[in-house]
Amino acid sequence: MPKKEKPLRLMSWNVNGLRAVLKKGFLDFMEEHQPDILGLQETKAEESQVTPGLEPLRGYHRVFSSATTRKGYSGVALFSREKPLSVNLSLGRSEFDNEGRVIQADFGSFVIFNVYFPNGKSRPERLQYKMDFYAHFLKVCRDLLKKGKNVVVCGDVNTAHKDIDLARPKENRKISGFLPEECAWIDQFLSAGFSDAFRERHPEPNQYTWWDMQSGARARNVGWRIDYFYTSTSLRDRVKDAYILPQVMGSDHCPVGLDLLP
């Protein structure tokens, strides 16, 4: 009987500061869950600033993209057991690239985007920036789909899609992160040829990935599901499972995962 191939374990986590989470059990998390590919968002650090802390983490190729306009702001990183065939840190527009929000890596059978999407809460200009980022990112993904690429998108999207994706939808309908135009963009993104891997398999409520730290919301599970794995519909049959790991502490977000068959 032929041996079944083990699925690839893809994980994503907004760590709210990689230097901080290294002091809160990040290496233990890696040892326990053994991701084949891990996307981190909001790293808030240059690679050189975290290299000593990552020294015990062997066997991973690492790619970092950091903000050039503000030190200690934004930033993403990608860890993978296999070295990507190619890596791209640019969306082709400087106003997006200089905040260190995207890593695109080609692993042959699929292309993965690790993205820290903008937050639009602070002021109207940032909401417009977020919506412009959304529109441009969708165009980039559509171009790849037209070329026949299998695409995975992971990261902090900074928007809850539907009422089920946050504990208090009515109270937040006029707050960035659950505005009608933000939710409509997710509808548009899915219609372009993507699937919400977790929600397709887990229709139950009270499944969140971010909680406000100041109000102690995590203990009461008053949260938002704003961290996602999206897969192009061409990969739908290869998705074995998708999950949320709310028990993993260290950030105001928890990790999310995707098991992808080879």
Max CA pair span of the chain: 60
- Out of 97, 106, 132, 156, the active site residue is 156
- Which SS3 state, helix, strand or coil, does residue 25 take? coil
> Quick one: tokens of 203?
């229709």
- Cross-strand pairs, 8: 260
Tell me how far the alpha carbon of residue 77 is from its chain's centroid: 10
Specify whether the CB–CB gap between 170 and 129 falls below 8 A. no
> b or e along 220-242 (b: 16 or more beta carbons within 10 Å of the residue's beta carbon)?
eebbbbbbbbbbbebbeebbeeb
187 catalytic? Reply is: no
Among candidates 225, 159, 223, which has minimal Cα distance to 188?
159
Q: Any residues with CB less than 8 A from the CB of 146 and at least 6 apart, and which?
A: none
3-state secondary structure of 232: strand
74 Rama sector, left if φ>0, alpha if ψ -120 to 50, beta otherwise: left
Q: Which residues are catalytic?
A: 156
